[in-house]
Amino acid sequence: MARPPKSERAPREPAPLLKGNWGGPKAAFGALLVVALGLRIAGLQYGLPFGTILNPDEQNIVPRAWRMVHGSGLDPHWFDYPTLVLYLLAPFQAWDSSPSLLTARIVIVFFGLAAVAAAWWLGRKAYGGVAGGVGAAVVAVQTTSVAYSHMAVTDVPLEAGVAAALALMVTDRLAWAGVVAGLATSAKYPGLLLLVPLVVAGWGRWRRLAVSVALGAASFLATSPYVLVHPGQAWGDASRVQRLARDGWLGFEHDSFALFSFSGRLWHTLGPALIVAAAGVVVALGVRKKADLILVSFVVAYAIDLLTIRAHFDRYLLPLVPVLGVLAGRLRALAPVMLLLLVVPLTYAIRDDITLTKTDTRIVAARWIEQHVPASAPVAAESSTPPLAGHDVLPLLLPGPGRPSDPNRDVARLRREGIRYVVVTGAVADRVLAARSSYPREVRFYDQLRRQTIRLYYVTPAHGLAGPWVAVYRL
């Protein structure tokens, strides 16, 4: 039988697309959230019930949030940080009879998941699904993002806010981008640097840009309103915090130039995946599409600000993490390599989580002090030691670059003041002794304790314990 001519043949139906059985992008996103959640809830109770062990800033934030819903009102009378995070934590403190760090940490865990989701959204809108997946995976496992999602502080909310604001800029929703940028700034002051990519996104459309900036200012003031009530105090507190960061901090005296120090911290929290992220930044600088310009302008502006800082805390890098992850995902051909390299920070994060499941040495020391040191005996104690309830405690001020030495760091003076016991910890002493030339008075104090007093108790991080060493001396 003769075949019909080509023109008369029935059109061939396209072959059906092969679908994998892994569930597609939504399942991948869900899996990333599950991984991120697991990393963030492990060890969530570390250091409790003490509020100065995991991160001393928790003791600055959570009690203030608790007091807001227990009769003190919404005015924090404290502006080291803006007040959005305090307001978000406060409702969840309403049912607790005392400040609950665990409740506050659970709230921050959800901000950690929001940061993963915002990175996914940013990547998809900027460069497509692959970039979204890579960006979310980076935030999910990056060591610092995981670590600070365990702490009731402001850093992870800022990270989530930055990623969400940039996603809105990339999609040209400038008004909403301004609102979210203002909220990010109300979580932590460095969110103000989002003004740079906002100007890039709205360049040439000055009316829309002006509206966006005005909405950002309004959202900041709506969630940190008392900066208008106490402008002098707010400026003084915020300036002091920024000045301390720029002057330096205990433990960073021998760091190299900020660029190398912060790059090293990124390497230790991302591993070789940082190389792919850096390649993504270089490609974005060369191609310079709209999304490239928005994201790179933020990276450059934030990096310039970091160059002015001498206290090289890894948490300062958190706003860059979702952006670097998305820019790494921009290189689709390297996405499988990038995901494979993320095994390195994943193992770092798991290792840190395992540490958080152990008992901190300072909790063990606090129990010993409760049993062996009379409640009536005055005690001098360094920061980063547990609160000694029932004791008359003289705080030994934290040393730092450019700060005057605490005159109480002298055994003879403490004896004259009636102090009978001294509690010191490696969280402070080890950093002082590593920079002996910068802290001669503090070094002499530790030598005096060793030679002129009796060491009653000493515990180190061994045998299932974590944290720094702690020593108790009797004068």
Q: CA angle, 61 as apex, 122 and 182 as ends, to 5°?
A: 35
- Mean pLDDT for the chain overall: 92
List, for residues 198-229, the tens digit of each pLDDT value: 999 999 999 999 999 999 999 999 999 999 99
List, for residues 87-102, the tens digit of each pLDDT value: 999 999 999 999 999 9
The pLDDT assigned to 288 comes to 84
With bands split at pLDDT 50, 70 and 90, how would you rate the model's confidence at 16? very low
Does 19 score more than 70 pLDDT?
A: no
The pLDDT assigned to 14 comes to 47
Does 15 score more than 50 pLDDT?
A: no
List, for residues 302-360, the tens digit of each pLDDT value: 999 999 999 999 999 999 999 999 999 999 999 999 999 999 999 999 999 999 999 99
pTM, full prediction: 0.91
Q: How far apart are CA 258 and CA 286, in angstroms?
A: 25
The pLDDT assigned to 18 comes to 43
Pairing of strands 465-466, 393-396: unpaired
The pLDDT assigned to 254 comes to 87
The pLDDT assigned to 12 comes to 54
Q: CA angle, 84 as apex, 217 and 146 as ends, to 5°?
A: 120
Q: CA angle, 399 as apex, 395 and 402 as ends, to 5°?
A: 135
Cβ atoms of 284 and 299 closer than 8 Å: no
In Å, what is the CA distance from 457 to each residue of 414, 444, 446, 469, 472?
Answer: 19, 20, 15, 10, 5
Cβ atoms of 54 and 46 closer than 8 Å: yes
Q: How far apart are CA 344 and CA 356, in angstroms?
A: 19
Q: Tell me what percent of the residues of the chain surpass a pLDDT of 70.
A: 95
Cβ atoms of 83 and 61 closer than 8 Å: no
